[in-house]
Amino acid sequence: MAYEIKNYMEVIVDEFLNDVLRKYKDVCHCKRCISDIKALTLNN
């Protein structure tokens, strides 16, 4: 159950992330910054 919720959250975050990267092309796209954005998203 918890695992499924986590998976679901990651799908949502990935979709959100794609959106953000498309809108803000000047944002750094390296793995480190992307995981930073992901962490911020998961905390909100």
Rounded to an integer, what distance in angstroms lies between the CA atom of residue 1 and that of residue 7? 10
Within positions 2 to 41, which residues make up the interface with Zn ion, using CB under 5 A? 28, 30, 33
**C-beta of 4 vs 26, nearer to Zn ion:** 26
**C-beta of 2 vs 22, nearer to Zn ion:** 22
Q: How far is the CB of 36 from Zn ion (least distance, A)?
A: 8
Rounded to an integer, what distance in angstroms lies between the CA atom of residue 1 and that of residue 37? 25
Rounded to an integer, what distance in angstroms lies between the CA atom of residue 14 and that of residue 30? 15
Under rule CB under 5 A, residue 42 binds Zn ion: no
# residues contacting Zn ion (CB under 5 A): 3
Hey, what amino acid is at 42? Answer: L
